[in-house]
């Protein structure tokens, strides 16, 4: 099977490429390297530099090659940035995905796996959050992903495109040997930012301690990147066996507060943190915890590495050896 992985030079995409190659798939990586790192791309994959917003380029890519499935990771991911520049997110995340979806149906690609987000739910009315929970994003990032899900539904209905939309909760962690890890530009995730602060002995900004949670800080469900990649393999196998449209939460069903995360980083690093409490970020949901029942039952998904200690340990090992990439 020949697979196109967009955003394959990014954090999750580069982990995905390695796993697909281990499974003996034929992989082409598409990335514009604006926020990715070509060094992260496994040299066994074919690498193509290009932008999903470039209609002419996308048409030529599909004209010159054929694919059986697309795994689409090439999206911006910062809720905070999306509040400041919503157009950036609707152009790249929504219009860029539309370009790929259009090319899929025009060129006979019948399988599409989409990197979505728990941000489509907004502030939940019940927790843990099931897939049939109402969708009400609180920021343009979540909205841009929800719009793609709606596009996929229409293209499935009209053109027979089969897809899986994986709604990530909080991807985190690094490879178990600490050799590959998270290197977003810009970085907005609490674990890498707090680890960087610990390594540099700098101040860490904690956004809000007045939420209606036990310790006043946001609560999130964290999924180790290795487990997340495993969910994509199961989704791919699902599309190889069944036609249809599928939505799955990818999480553990357990949440940790920001303060709990920071305490774990202190424990693993054996360093103190200079924490500055600042105001909430606009659009931050209070509690996001997955109900992973559906993906467990239908795909057999069972996280192996997503306890908070393993996540932080692996992230710490990577960051302490790669601080030069983070400054």
pLDDT tens digits for range 34-71: 999 999 999 999 999 999 999 999 999 999 899 999 99
Choose among 93, 96, 112, 119: nearest CA to 154.
112
Q: Is the pLDDT of residue 327 over 70?
A: no
For 93-110, what is the mean pLDDT?
Answer: 97
Q: What is the DSSP string of 1-15?
A: -EEEEETTTSHHHHH
Q: What is the DSSP string of 126-163?
A: SSSBPTTSPP--SSHHHHHHHHHHHHHHHHHHHH--EE
Contact status, residue 76 vs residue 89, Cβ threshold 8 Å: yes
For 208-219, what is the mean pLDDT?
Answer: 96
Least-confidence region, from 151-160, 181-190, 301-310, 314-323: 181-190
For 42, how many CA atoms within 13 A lie in the half-sphere containing its CB? 19
pLDDT tens digits for range 149-203: 999 999 999 999 999 999 999 999 999 987 788 876 777 899 999 999 999 999 9
Domains and CATH numbers, the chain: 2-171+222-250 (3.40.50.720), 173-220+253-325 (3.90.25.10)
- Catalytic position from the list 76, 141, 168, 248: 141
Q: Give CA–CA dist 34/27, Å, rounded.
A: 21
Which tokens sit at 45? 């994959």
Choose among 84, 185, 90: nearest CA to 147.
90
Q: What is the pTM of this model?
A: 0.95
pLDDT more than 70, % of the chain? 98
Contact status, residue 31 vs residue 8, Cβ threshold 8 Å: yes
Catalytic: 222?
no
Q: Is the pLDDT of residue 237 over 70?
A: yes
Contact status, residue 97 vs residue 29, Cβ threshold 8 Å: no
Contact status, residue 303 vs residue 168, Cβ threshold 8 Å: no
pLDDT more than 90, % of the chain? 91
């Amino acid at each position: 099977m020949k697979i196109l992985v967009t955003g394959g030079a990014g954090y999750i995409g580069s982990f995905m490429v390695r796993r697909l190659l281990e499974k003996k798939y034929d992989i082409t990586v598409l990335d514009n390297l604006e926020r990715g790192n070509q060094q992260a791309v496994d040299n066994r994959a074919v690498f193509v530099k290009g932008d999903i917003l470039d209609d002419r380029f996308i048409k030529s890519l599909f004209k010159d090659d054929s694919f059986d499935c697309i795994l689409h990771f090439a999206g911006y991911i910062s809720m905070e940035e999306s509040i400041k520049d919503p157009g950036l997110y609707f152009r790249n995340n929504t219009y860029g995905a539309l370009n790929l979806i259009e090319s899929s149906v025009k060129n006979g690609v019948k399988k599409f796996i989409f990197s979505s987000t728990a941000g489509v739910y907004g502030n939940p009315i019940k927790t843990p959050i099931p897939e049939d929970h109402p969708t009400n994003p609180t920021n343009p990032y979540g909205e841009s992903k929800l719009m793609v899900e709606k596009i996929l539904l229409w293209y499935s209905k009209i053109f027979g495109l089969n897809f899986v939309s994986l709604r990530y909760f909080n991807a985190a962690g690094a490879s178990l040997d600490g050799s590959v890890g998270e290197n977003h530009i810009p970085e907005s995730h609490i674990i890498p930012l707090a680890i960087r602060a610990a390594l540099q002995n700098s101040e860490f900004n904690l956004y809000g301690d007045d939420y209606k949670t036990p310790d006043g800080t946001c609560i999130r469900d964290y999924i180790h990147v290795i487990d997340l990649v495993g969910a994509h393999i199961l989704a791919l196998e699902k599309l190889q066996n069944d036609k249809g449209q599928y939505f799955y939460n990818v999480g553990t069903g357990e949440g940790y507060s920001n303060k709990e995360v920071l305490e774990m980083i202190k424990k693993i690093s054996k360093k103190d943190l200079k924490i500055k409490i600042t105001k909430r970020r606009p659009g931050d949901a209070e509690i996001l915890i997955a109900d992973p029942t559906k993906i467990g039952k239908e795909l057999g998904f069972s996280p192996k590495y997503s306890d908070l200690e393993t996540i932080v340990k692996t992230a710490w090992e990577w960051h302490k050896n790669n601080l030069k990439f983070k400054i």
